[in-house]
């Protein structure tokens, strides 16, 4: 069955990999990213099975305009994936510039709220759909020198679990740990050790089917993409 899927942060990494995999599986995908060049490249690569917009997910009015366009074109999403995220440079908490800490919180938490707020009313009205927001083990266990990232992912866990108690039966809100994947984000934190982990194009082969199998029975659960 063809599904309508909305994904943020599709310019690279996990978001881009998910776009290509979902389209290959026969689904309709609407996505957004800040890079005009990356968005145009995706339009050319994906063709009519995708709809991509240049959107800063921190701009609430821009997110609302994007959602309005998507909802008019294809209707409420069956699956909404909050993927966009950033990480600060490794540093002790007291050495992180406040503006850098704020940016991580803004992108990783406030943008998730902006996107959910824009799509949730239509999904609630239909009483159907799954909202997945990428979390992290860092938000559960905590790690040194990435305090902003840990705090932001802990917030994603809390927001998702709270919202899960508010949505109607038939829907699901799930904080999902994608696992450790060799992306640009990981390069900046792990260095050479990042190469020990799967690239997005490998990860997505197990991630996409797993995500598509999530449903109302998983509402409020904190889950993780299996390693195998």
For the chain, list the domains and their CATH numbers. Answer: 4-224 (3.40.50.720)
Nearest Cα to 76, choosing from 4, 10, 138? 4
**Per-residue DSSP letters for 3-60?**
-EEEEE--SSHHHHHHHHHHHHTT-EEEEEES-HHHHHHHHHHHGGGEEEEE--TT-H
pLDDT tens figures, 142-184: 999 999 999 999 999 999 999 999 999 999 999 999 988 866 6
Q: Which residue has the tokens 């040194």?
A: 144
**Average pLDDT of the segment spanning 36-52:** 94
**Average pLDDT of the segment spanning 84-110:** 94
- C-beta of residue 7 within 8 angstroms of C-beta of residue 15: yes
pLDDT band at 195 (very low <50, low <70, confident <90, very high): low
CB neighbour list of residue 202: distance below 8 Å, 6 or more residues apart? none
- What local confidence, expressed as pLDDT, does residue 149 receive? 95
Separation between Cα atoms, residue 194 and residue 199, nearest integer Å? 9
The pLDDT of residue 190 is above 70: no
pLDDT band at 194 (very low <50, low <70, confident <90, very high): very low
**Average pLDDT of the segment spanning 111-123:** 98
Residue 190 a catalytic site member: no
**Average pLDDT of the segment spanning 70-91:** 95
pTM score of the predicted model:
0.93
pLDDT band at 227 (very low <50, low <70, confident <90, very high): confident
- What local confidence, expressed as pLDDT, does residue 182 receive? 60
Containing H/E element for 168?
none
- Hey, how many other C-beta atoms are within 10 angstroms of the C-beta on 226? 9
Percent of the chain's residues with pLDDT above 90: 86
From the candidates 119, 143, 149, 190, which is the catalytic residue? 149
Nearest Cα to 6, choosing from 23, 29, 38, 35? 29
- What local confidence, expressed as pLDDT, does residue 1 receive? 87
């Amino acid at each position: 069955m063809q599904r309508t899927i909305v994904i943020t942060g599709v310019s690279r990494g996990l978001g881009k990999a998910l776009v290509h995999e979902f389209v290959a599986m026969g689904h309709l995908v609407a996505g957004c990213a800040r890079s005009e060049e990356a968005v145009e490249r995706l339009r050319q690569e994906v063709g009519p099975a995708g709809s991509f917009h240049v959107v800063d997910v921190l701009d609430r009015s821009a997110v609302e305009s994007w959602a309005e366009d998507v909802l008019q074109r294809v209707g409420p999403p069956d699956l909404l994936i909050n993927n966009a995220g950033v990480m600060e440079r490794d540093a002790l908490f007291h050495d992180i510039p406040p503006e850098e800490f704020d940016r991580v919180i803004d992108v990783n938490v406030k943008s998730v709220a902006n996107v959910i707020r824009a799509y949730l009313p239509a999904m609630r009205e239909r009483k159907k759909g799954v909202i997945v927001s990428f979390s992290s083990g860092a938000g559960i266990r905590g790690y040194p020198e990435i305090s902003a990232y840990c705090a932001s992912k802990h917030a994603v866990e809390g927001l998702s679990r709270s919202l899960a108690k508010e949505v109607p039966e038939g829907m699901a809100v799930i904080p999902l740990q994608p696992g450790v994947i060799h992306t640009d984000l990981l390069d900046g934190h792990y260095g050479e050790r990042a190469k020990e982990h799967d690239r997005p194009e490998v990860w997505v082969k197990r991630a996409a089917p797993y995500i598509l199998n999530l449903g109302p029975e998983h509402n409020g659960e904190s889950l993780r993409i299996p390693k195998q």
